[in-house]
Amino acid sequence: MEIRDASALVTGGASGLGEATVRRLAAAGARVVIADRDEKKGEALAADLGANCRFARTDVSSPEQVQQAISAAQMLGTLRAAVSCAGVGWVQRTINKEGVPHDLELFRKVVEINLVGTFNVMRLAAAAMAKNEPQRHGERGVIINTASIAAFDGQIGQVAYAASKAAVAGLTLPAARDLSKAGIRVLTIAPGTFDTPMLGQLPEEARQALAAGIPFPARLGLPDEYGQLALHMIENAYLNGETVRLDGALRMPPK
């Protein structure tokens, strides 16, 4: 897929993995819509990157807001890529030490944002891409979703998060098959432990302990390494229907 002068949508694009992806795509010549709930960070990033980037305040679980963000991207150019980085995490055991069960509404919220929100972006972006003129190889667009290694190695307290991310990984192949006749590829990245604002809230000792558990390189992942992979997935026409772990060979222990 040739992304130069085309448009791309990145959800969760105002910080972390999403911001790194926005910067990579913009550097490759794409015109990018930063879809995020954080107006301050989103507007600042768009201003930093210049005229080919726009911010759209977006709750990924809202069909109307996602459609508005897609429309904003189409105003910049032909929508060729959509990368879903928006997501939330929550730690709670199925039952705690006192025997109290997991909060059902919190479980629903995590699934609503991480899974339903991802699917909402995918279905609406695919509908827009299906109308594009095909490029070389018959491609009309690429959709990249974000799972997590918790989809495969979920730890104690990650039932909601791991379930939502496993579902994102699970929809990758059937979605790629669904969209094959439209010339739209679907891929998923499953990151390990990355140096994002979420981990930035941890004490330095805890961050170092996480880094030490990664086989090689023994450090936290850099958000730009996620952005690099997302850009490669967009450009490599034969990558499709796959979930790729990006984790330095880390396999998470139970806790």
| Positions of E strands within the chain | 7-11, 31-36, 53-57, 79-84, 141-146, 184-191, 243-246
Active site amino acids: 161
Give yes or no for a contact between 220 and 210, defined as CB atoms under 8 angstroms apart: yes
Burial of 118 (C-beta count, 10 Å sphere; 0-12/13-18/19+): buried
The alpha carbon dihedral of 186, 190, 194, 200 has a sign of positive
Residue 49 CA: distances (Å) to CA of 5, 35, 119, 218: 15, 15, 28, 32
String of b and e for 164-181 (b: at least 16 CB within 10 Å)? bbbbbbebbeebbeebee
